[in-house]
A and B are shown apart, each in its own frame.
Chain A
Amino acid sequence: MADVTAGDGALRRFLHGLPGVDAVGLQARAATLGTRSIKTTAKAYAIDLAISMIDLTTLEGADTPGKVRALCAKGINPDPTDRTTPRVAAICVYGDMVATAKEALTGSGVHVAAVATAFPSGRAALPVKLADTREAVAAGADEIDMVIDRGAFLSGRYLQVFEEIRQVKEACVREDGSGTAAHLKVIFETGELQTYDNVRRASWLAMLAGADFIKTSTGKVAVNATPPVTLVLLEAVRDFHATTGVQVGVKPAGGIRTSKDAIKYLVMVNETLGDEWLSPEWFRFGASSLLNDLLMQRQKLSTGRYSGPDYVTVD
């Protein structure tokens, strides 16, 4: 598909030639999938799967090494009362906390994900964004969560967005001579792209540029992940895979707080993409408070009684 990215015109024609998204129909489909009733064994499976897919996140100006270490401990061992609880997928932090997190997670199998490229606004010069990325990778980040330039996207400068992603992807290559690279997640900030047509175009744009994951939101704006927006991402990933054979992951982020919500997303993955995407390798939740709700639901399932916030840890 190299020809579609040969120039601005070709890229625009390709992106605008993608099938449209009817907003009402999309929302209706997402709502219907949300009525699936996931009980007993299915619920237990879904809760553990959801926990294992969490990118446990702290992205605050007030973050300190102490806070990050606490979060890492929680990620490795989410429920101290039940060692069968799976660990989360990654701890997601700002670039300057990567080293701290990396150290705290040593040997745990939990990844370090770093937001980069002038997160969350993306408003910085490209060299700054690349430097931001390289630094995080050098500090040991396993995954980079970059933001796209929404201004460029909304004004139709698709090739610029494409190039930026491509270069960030290059910056993800580790300079230790291993030939390996951090996995690149590309955040669209769907709340700012506004239309589902834009979300679908952004998804294809990012995948064409080499994204390993596509991600809805930073969690820093009013509208973050929603089921319909995530469904657009899932459909784009499905179609990209069918066209190119390349599998790309999906990460909804922001606003997913309850087990019930998380399970709805898993149902969406299951019925849109199927088994192949039902693992932390291909689907993540960007969340912080979600984990405790999953843990309380998990306790309810194993003990039969409702849990409370004092029976899960505050981090």
Chain B
Amino acid sequence: MSDRNDRLSVLKTYKLFVGGKFPRSESGRVYEVTDAKGKWLANAPLASRKDARDAVVAARKAFGGWSGATAYNRGQILYRVAEMLEGRRDQFVHEVADAEGLSKSKATAQVDAAIDRWVWYAGWSDKTAQIAGSANPVAGPYFNLSSPEPTGVVALLAPQDSSFLGLVSVIAPAIVTGNTTVVVASERAPLPALSLGEVLATSDLPGGVVNVLSGRTAEIATPLAAHQDVNAIDLAGADEELATELEKAAADNLKRVVRPQPVDWPADPGTARLLAFLETKTVWHPMGA
């Protein structure tokens, strides 16, 4: 964010992204975000449990429409996200470089990989059911078909270390199948996530499908893990101790839990996260004249 020439730059007020809008934290709190060397970058909203609650309400409200949209439609919207990001590539390279202390070329590689990841997942929208579903040859006069459906509202604790590629790598697979999400951004490096909200808001993604919160991961994640209207939680951004505590809380309504594990974010993501937040529904019908 260094100033060019003698002009004083206009700084951005980073805000949460909830229900397609950009509110400040209801708590009125912010926290200081610095680059890898400790230099001030911005004040980010310090989201509260009430912000988490509002985000869940927004995600639940969006679920019917988003999960009911055609796969083709969802795929096009994810692709649109890639298009929008491509246009703001420089901004994200800058933010990622600052956030993660990367050289420009390394940050560029992260952002390019993140854009390509949106493209990869966009193409999955209308193929997931074909690889995860099945026609079942039951021993009787019945038509029997299994198909995957989105689990519902998913809380995503974005990875702490990979502020943008890691973030995209947990959001895109969750939403492409029709889930809606509440994302807790990397605690130390939330700015790329908050900026992503601005991209999503202009990509035809319905409000509430992705809700982005910044702040203390443990503080926001705890109510999310215990929330009875959250159906699943990805613990990528939780350390071992927090993850265990959250997994226990998640048991209260039997959330689907993805435990934290080491991930090489630039590598081929495979289908594990894509298939993690799906429910298989099997429909039977008799066959008779």
Direct contact of A and B (CB under 8 A): yes
- Which A residues have a C-beta under 8 Å from some C-beta of B? 22-25, 27, 194-195
Set of chain B residues within 8 Å of A25, measured between Cβ atoms: 286
Set of chain A residues within 8 Å of B287, measured between Cβ atoms: 24
| Contact residues of B between 237 and 289, Cβ < 8 Å to A | 286-289
Say whether B289 contacts A194, CB under 8 Å.
Answer: yes
Say whether A24 contacts B286, CB under 8 Å.
Answer: yes
Q: Closest residue to B288 on the A side, CB-wise? A: A23
Instruction: Give the CA-CA distance A276 to B289 in the complex, in Å.
Output: 32
A221 to chain B, nearest CB (A): 18
Instruction: Give the CA-CA distance A27 to B141 in the complex, in Å.
Output: 11
Q: Closest residue to A22 on the B side, CB-wise? A: B286
B279 to chain A, nearest CB (A): 27
List 12 additional A-B contacts (Cβ < 8 Å) besides A24-B140, A194-B289.
A22-B286, A22-B288, A23-B286, A23-B288, A23-B289, A24-B141, A24-B142, A24-B286, A24-B287, A24-B288, A25-B286, A27-B288
Say whether B289 contacts A195, CB under 8 Å.
Answer: yes
Instruction: Give the CA-CA distance A194 to B286 in the complex, in Å.
Output: 18
- Which B residues have a C-beta under 8 Å from some C-beta of A? 140-142, 286-289
Q: List 15 A-B contacts (CB under 8 A).
A: A22-B286, A22-B288, A23-B286, A23-B288, A23-B289, A24-B140, A24-B141, A24-B142, A24-B286, A24-B287, A24-B288, A25-B286, A27-B288, A194-B289, A195-B289
Set of chain B residues within 8 Å of A195, measured between Cβ atoms: 289
B103 to chain A, nearest CB (A): 67
Instruction: Give the CA-CA distance A195 to B289 in the complex, in Å.
Output: 6
Instruction: Give the CA-CA distance A311 to B159 in the complex, in Å.
Output: 88
Set of chain A residues within 8 Å of B289, measured between Cβ atoms: 23, 194-195
Q: Closest residue to B285 on the A side, CB-wise? A: A24
Instruction: Give the CA-CA distance A186 to B280 in the complex, in Å.
Output: 50
Instruction: Give the CA-CA distance A195 to B288 in the complex, in Å.
Output: 9
Instruction: Give the CA-CA distance A22 to B141 in the complex, in Å.
Output: 12
Query: Which of B140, B141, B286 counts the most A-chain CB atoms under 10 A from its CB?
Result: B286
10 smallest CB-CB distances across A and B, nearest first, come from A23-B288, A24-B286, A24-B288, A24-B141, A195-B289, A22-B286, A23-B289, A25-B286, A22-B288, A24-B287
Q: Closest residue to B287 on the A side, CB-wise? A: A24
A30 to chain B, nearest CB (A): 13
B139 to chain A, nearest CB (A): 13
Instruction: Give the CA-CA distance A27 to B140 in the complex, in Å.
Output: 12
Set of chain B residues within 8 Å of A24, measured between Cβ atoms: 140-142, 286-288
Q: Closest residue to A198 on the B side, CB-wise? A: B289
Set of chain A residues within 8 Å of B142, measured between Cβ atoms: 24
Instruction: Give the CA-CA distance A23 to B142 in the complex, in Å.
Output: 11
Set of chain A residues within 8 Å of B288, measured between Cβ atoms: 22-24, 27
Instruction: Give the CA-CA distance A24 to B284 in the complex, in Å.
Output: 12
Instruction: Give the CA-CA distance A233 to B286 in the complex, in Å.
Output: 22
Instruction: Give the CA-CA distance A24 to B287 in the complex, in Å.
Output: 7
Q: Closest residue to A195 on the B side, CB-wise? A: B289
Set of chain A residues within 8 Å of B140, measured between Cβ atoms: 24
Instruction: Give the CA-CA distance A25 to B142 in the complex, in Å.
Output: 11
Instruction: Give the CA-CA distance A194 to B289 in the complex, in Å.
Output: 9
Instruction: Give the CA-CA distance A195 to B141 in the complex, in Å.
Output: 16
Instruction: Give the CA-CA distance A101 to B6 in the complex, in Å.
Output: 124
B143 to chain A, nearest CB (A): 10
Instruction: Give the CA-CA distance A194 to B142 in the complex, in Å.
Output: 20
Set of chain B residues within 8 Å of A27, measured between Cβ atoms: 288
Query: Which of A23, A25, A194, A195 counts the most B-chain CB atoms under 10 A from its CB?
Result: A23
Instruction: Give the CA-CA distance A143 to B287 in the complex, in Å.
Output: 39
Set of chain A residues within 8 Å of B286, measured between Cβ atoms: 22-25
Instruction: Give the CA-CA distance A24 to B142 in the complex, in Å.
Output: 9
Instruction: Give the CA-CA distance A24 to B288 in the complex, in Å.
Output: 6
Instruction: Give the CA-CA distance A73 to B142 in the complex, in Å.
Output: 50
B109 to chain A, nearest CB (A): 58
B289 to chain A, nearest CB (A): 5
Query: Which of B141, B142, B288 counts the most A-chain CB atoms under 10 A from its CB?
Result: B288
Set of chain B residues within 8 Å of A22, measured between Cβ atoms: 286, 288
B144 to chain A, nearest CB (A): 12
Instruction: Give the CA-CA distance A23 to B289 in the complex, in Å.
Output: 6
Q: Closest residue to B289 on the A side, CB-wise? A: A195
B87 to chain A, nearest CB (A): 56
Instruction: Give the CA-CA distance A188 to B287 in the complex, in Å.
Output: 24
Q: Closest residue to A24 on the B side, CB-wise? A: B286
Q: Closest residue to A23 on the B side, CB-wise? A: B288
B204 to chain A, nearest CB (A): 43
Q: Closest residue to A194 on the B side, CB-wise? A: B289
A261 to chain B, nearest CB (A): 22
Q: Closest residue to A197 on the B side, CB-wise? A: B289
Set of chain B residues within 8 Å of A194, measured between Cβ atoms: 289
Instruction: Give the CA-CA distance A23 to B140 in the complex, in Å.
Output: 13
Instruction: Give the CA-CA distance A123 to B167 in the complex, in Å.
Output: 78
Instruction: Give the CA-CA distance A89 to B253 in the complex, in Å.
Output: 66
Instruction: Give the CA-CA distance A48 to B286 in the complex, in Å.
Output: 38
Instruction: Give the CA-CA distance A132 to B286 in the complex, in Å.
Output: 44
Instruction: Give the CA-CA distance A195 to B287 in the complex, in Å.
Output: 13
Q: Closest residue to B142 on the A side, CB-wise? A: A24
B6 to chain A, nearest CB (A): 82
A190 to chain B, nearest CB (A): 13
Set of chain A residues within 8 Å of B141, measured between Cβ atoms: 24
B225 to chain A, nearest CB (A): 44
B77 to chain A, nearest CB (A): 41
